[in-house]
């Protein structure tokens, strides 16, 4: 195997005897985490499938941990990426489902991992945990200064409970768990469903299909004024594994790119990249979501040396190219 230029020998040495469970490892972010674990030479990578292990059920979690133990010894690490996720529309339609499924997955999995003797637990939170009107840029110490944006608050609060659990389990039991807060992700392999996908893949698909049909306009939610920060998925995976290697405290840590863009500018950029030349009509009857999102990423750099590398325009072009290729391969 050819080692990536990012995989220094000491990083590969860390993983060579590690057995790792990656929940959600077949998904968008998880697939990139698994790729990077393979690059680093992890001894064993387990990707549980929901058809076999339902992580919303306690029995499913216990069965997973039992099936992956060797001679009574649990895996060395769990990277918990599995989540019930979606855009604003999906969150509005399924608030109870998003709350319950994410809460019980995180709570039961961390607790059972502690009981089983898992050496380290990597919990992945969400930028949706931040208060709706948190000061810009979002700093980790502002996580508790207000209520999250209403359309995704149930999801954000459920994921934030893993932070409380991580801190209390470290304090009482000495359990080594960490908690990371990635900003909105984008990139190849994303969910391009118009109903459940996030903003970038949904807009890419809208523009491409409108161009193919010859439509004169497309509709976009809100008024375009909110801002967002986006992190390329491969950069996010790198940040997660750097934290898994180097971070051993339960204080929350942001993962972001420090690049902020308005939804209006994002829409215009995606239209340009996809070749859509029609009108963009803003549907102001639809919610804007959180007014601004931009993270302070200094803690990640300080604690484990993570800095995002992929320029946004380059990552966007790669995302469009991947989706076009995926569509063409099914035709």
Active-site residues, by number, are 155
Name the token pair of 39. 């690059």
């Amino acid at each position: 195997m050819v080692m990536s230029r990012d995989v220094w020998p000491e990083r590969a040495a860390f993983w060579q005897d590690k057995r790792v469970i990656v929940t959600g490892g077949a998904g968008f972010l998880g697939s990139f985490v698994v790729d990077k674990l393979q690059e680093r030479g992890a001894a064993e990578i387990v990707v549980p499938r929901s058809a076999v292990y339902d992580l919303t059920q306690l029995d499913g979690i216990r069965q997973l941990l039992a099936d992956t133990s060797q001679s009574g010894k649990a895996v060395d690490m769990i990277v918990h990426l599995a989540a019930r996720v979606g855009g604003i529309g999906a969150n509005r339609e399924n608030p109870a489902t998003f709350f319950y499924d994410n809460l019980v997955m995180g709570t039961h999995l961390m607790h059972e991992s502690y009981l089983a003797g898992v050496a380290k637990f990597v919990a992945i939170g969400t930028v949706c945990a931040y208060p709706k009107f948190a000061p810009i840029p979002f700093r980790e110490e502002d996580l508790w200064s207000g209520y999250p944006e209403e359309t995704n608050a149930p999801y954000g609060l459920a994921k934030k409970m893993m932070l409380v659990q991580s801190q209390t389990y470290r304090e009482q039991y000495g359990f080594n768990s960490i908690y990371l807060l990635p900003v909105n992700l984008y990139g190849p392999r994303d969910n391009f469903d118009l109903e459940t996908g996030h903003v970038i893949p949904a807009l890419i698909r809208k523009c491409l299909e409108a161009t193919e049909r010859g439509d004169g306009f497309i509709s976009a939610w809100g008024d375009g004024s909110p801002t967002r920060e986006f992190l390329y998925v491969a950069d996010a995976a790198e940040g997660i594994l750097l934290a898994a290697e180097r971070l051993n405290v339960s204080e929350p840590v942001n993962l972001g790119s420090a690049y902020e863009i308005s939804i209006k500018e994002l829409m215009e950029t995606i239209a340009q990249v996809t070749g859509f030349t029609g009108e963009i009509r803003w549907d102001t009857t639809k919610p804007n979501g959180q007014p601004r999102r931009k993270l302070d990423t200094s803690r990640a750099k300080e604690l484990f040396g993570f800095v995002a590398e992929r320029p946004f325009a380059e990552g966007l072009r790669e995302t469009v190219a991947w989706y076009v290729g995926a569509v063409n391969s099914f035709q």
